[in-house]
Amino acid sequence: MDRADRLARNEAAFRLLNERARAVTEELALGRSVGEPERLECVCECSDAECTTRVVVRAPDYELARADPAHFILAPGHANTAIEREILVVEGAVVVEKHPAERRVAAEADPRT
């Protein structure tokens, strides 16, 4: 596995963690009369396996990022230009898109597909 693939897999692992947390949040909301939260606390999905930075994003921004398997939510300044580019600045975070070579890894690891 080359370095770019390893970095992309790191991001995919953080995305999976955030997706699992989101699923638990949705389950808890269904059991109560309380709706889903407007903002979600996520782990930065950057390629640094040691990163523990938390980002808080609006729920619609989270879903916007999840609409494409090559998109990830990162803390500002955490993008790695070798494997991705910033495409959107949202409140509290940035959304990045994988370069074509890393897009395959991201798509294969997408928990929503």
pLDDT at 47: 92
Neighbouring C-alpha atoms within 13 Å toward the C-beta of 69: 17
The answer to whether 53 and 44 have CB atoms below 8 angstroms apart is yes
The token pair at 95 is 């959304």
> In this predicted model, what pLDDT tens digit does every residue of 48-96 receive, in sequence order?
999 999 999 999 999 999 999 999 999 999 999 999 999 999 999 999 9
pLDDT at 13: 87
CA distance 44 to 111: 17
Q: How confident is the model at residue 34 (pLDDT cuts 50, 70, 90)?
A: low
Estimate the crossing angle of helix 3-30 against helix 59-66, to 10 degrees: 130
Q: What is the pTM of this model?
A: 0.80
pLDDT at 88: 95
